[in-house]
Amino acid sequence: CALPISSGMAALEAARRGLTPDKLITPKSVENALTVLLAVGGSTNAVLHLAAVAGRAGIQLDLKRLNELSDRTPVIVDLKPTGQHYMENLFEAGGVGAVLRELKPLLHLDCLTVTGETLGQRLDQPDAWVDRRVVRPLSDPYLPYGGLVALFGSLAPRGAILKRSAADARLFEREGRAVVFDGLEDLARRIDDPALDVTPDDFLVMKNAGPTSVSCMPEAGYLPIPSKLAKAGVKDMVRISDARMSGTAFGTVVLHVTPDAASGGPLAKVRSGDRIRLSIKDRRIDLMVPDEELARRPLDRKSTRLNSSHGYISYAVFCLKKK
């Protein structure tokens, strides 16, 4: 019971001191949160959550800035699905405090914390024990780059997210044929059909699972490997959607394609047989279809927009779209 009690006491003390959220959530503290997220190989969902929290404070989460931070922030935690350990192992190894101490050169140390101290003051306390099997030194990272990367291009003009620390690097630079599913029901109906026209080099694409669709952005972006390929030993292939996925999932999965299909984004016009080019090096995902051809294609009737702007997920997408 000690943790809930101490958390409650800290909340009361923060209220007494007038430490309101607007004093704690700043552009610098949001960057600190992104840096920690990148260093632990954290979930793609955290981008949405941070966009929503920052947006409530009038701060825009810039995906291009995320890429800059990702290029300078290595993964230093050996944690699933990037590594081998679990969250309880991170707690036992020194927890987030150990991660923060390693990341000191990359953090804004003048940010105010809920204790009323700056982050720098908190981290100036004597170092605690760290299990180096789980939390590595900044000089000897698990991966030399951050866990997440944002992609742009003709398929995702306003961005998409890939958890590159949990993906197969052999798939990072390639072009493939799209195998398109119109939504969750279509995916469930056809993905394991032995007659499905699909090869390991194809890109699986699912539409109509984004935040403005009737599906309301479920954690369905981890498209399964078609059973006939899985039986042949295929473990990973490029998968693209406007949905989310669990932070525990491994794979080369491009998520949060924005604008989503239901908003009339380019994803809505992708057809099976189209060519798509993925380049993590160039931070791009492009639909290799001439603009004239796309202009001739009608919007998919299945791309039904949900007329609602309520909730944190919708607000997060609003914050990411806002320029």
Catalytic (active-site) positions:
246
Spatial neighbors of 93 by CB under 8 A, at least 6 apart, are 85, 130, 131, 133, 134, 135
Contact between 292 and 193 (Cβ < 8 Å) = no
Contact between 141 and 65 (Cβ < 8 Å) = no
Residue 311's SS3 state is coil
Residue in 309, 321, 155, 313 with CA at minimum distance from that of residue 238: 155
Contact between 206 and 240 (Cβ < 8 Å) = yes
Spatial neighbors of 8 by CB under 8 A, at least 6 apart, are none
User: In Å, how far are 44, 182, 215, 243, 249 from 219, measured between CA atoms?
Assistant: 11, 16, 10, 6, 10
Element spanning 148, H or E: strand 148-151
Contact between 132 and 125 (Cβ < 8 Å) = no
Contact between 66 and 148 (Cβ < 8 Å) = yes
Question: Maximum distance among all alpha carbons in the chain?
Answer: 66
